[in-house]
Amino acid sequence: MDESEFLASYDPRAFPPVAVTVDVVALTIREGALHVLLVRRGEQPHAGRWALPGGFIRPAEDLAEAAVRELAEETGLTPRVHIEQLASYGAPDRDPRMRIVSVSYLAFAPHLPDPRAGSDAADAAWHRADRLPELAFDHGRILGEGLERARAKLEYTPLATTFVGETFTISELRGVYETVWSVPLHAGNFHRKILSVPGFVESTGETTESGGARGGPRAKLYRAGDARLLHPALLRPAREEEVR
């Protein structure tokens, strides 16, 4: 039997049924705090509970496409978001309906608008990452791993620039790091450090229109540079506890 004969006789329904979903951990910063997008489930199971936006993949669609589509469908958010794969979860009992394997994605974007509820979701809203409700399925774990991934990626990629606007000040960038890492950073040292990493930011030659809300000089404006990796990296303050 050659390959074409084999394929003609092949019955896909012979395998036990499995479904594949994508779930998205979408992050943004609003009002100085890290926020996660959650939807309130409108259908069983776990109806009424908060969950990550997501859903079943469609036949001719790649995984990342499905993640972008679900984000748009359930929340009305359609900006060009950075999206990257996080991990997959397939414990046999993670969904009571049937065997479901979920591929999770991480999405970042600057000052996103309030979402509108879409078809599957009764409600969609940004939640502060430090004050989260109990989530449906194993979404609490997925979200936790997404947050940790985002924190880690700030260290060695220019990810932070995707949380700010087209142009930004070094202080705004510092705000992103402080918010996501939940640590205060030294303004002077941070400033010098950012400018010393080749390709992280490039000057626009402009400055802000006015000083800060509580005074101070006008800050220079920068835009994201062409670096894809930061070298040397910006390491988080040592976390001895996490090492062993």
Partner DNA sequence: ACAATAGTGTCTTTGAGACAATATGGA
Partner DNA sequence: TCCATATTGTCTCAAAGACACTATTGT
- Positions that interact with a second copy (CB under 8 A): 1-3, 6-7, 10, 12-13, 15-20, 44-47, 56-63, 85, 87-92, 96-99, 101, 103, 198-199, 226-229, 231, 238, 242-244
Sole residue written with tokens 């506890």 = 241
62, interface contact from DNA, a second copy, none, CB < 5-8 Å by kind: a second copy
Alpha carbons 111 and 145: distance in angstroms, whole number: 22
* Nearest partner of 23 among 89, 79, 81, 82, judged by Cα: 89
| Least distance from a second copy to the Cβ atom of residue 205, Å | 22
241, interface contact from DNA, a second copy, none, CB < 5-8 Å by kind: none
Residues near DNA (CB under 7 A), total: 30
Q: Which residues contact 146 (CB under 8 A, 6 or more apart)?
A: 25, 27, 86, 104, 106
Alpha carbons 54 and 58: distance in angstroms, whole number: 12
Question: Which residue from 171, 199, 223, 225 is in contact with DNA, where contact means CB under 7 A?
Answer: 171
Fill in the DSSP letter of residue 212.
B
32, interface contact from DNA, a second copy, none, CB < 5-8 Å by kind: none
| Least distance from DNA to the Cβ atom of residue 218, Å | 5
Alpha carbons 182 and 33: distance in angstroms, whole number: 9
Q: Which amino acid belongs to residue 135?
A: L
CB count, 10 Å around CB of 57? 19
| Least distance from DNA to the Cβ atom of residue 183, Å | 10
78, interface contact from a second copy, DNA, none, CB < 5-8 Å by kind: none
State phi, psi for 177 to the nearest 5 degrees.
-60, -45
| Least distance from a second copy to the Cβ atom of residue 130, Å | 24
Segment 180-239, which members bind DNA (CB under 7 A)? Answer: 186-189, 191-193, 195-196, 207, 210-220, 232-235, 237-238
183, interface contact from DNA, a second copy, none, CB < 5-8 Å by kind: none
* Nearest partner of 25 among 112, 194, 144, 177, judged by Cα: 144
Q: Which is nearer to a second copy, 47 or 122 (CB)?
A: 47
In degrees to the nearest 10, what's the CA dihedral of 234, 34, 43, 81? -60
Question: Which residue from 39, 124, 170, 180 is in contact with DNA, where contact means CB under 7 A?
Answer: 170
193, interface contact from a second copy, DNA, none, CB < 5-8 Å by kind: DNA
Six-digit token string for 199: 């390709």
State the residues that interact with DNA by CB under 7 A. Answer: 169-171, 186-189, 191-193, 195-196, 207, 210-220, 232-235, 237-238
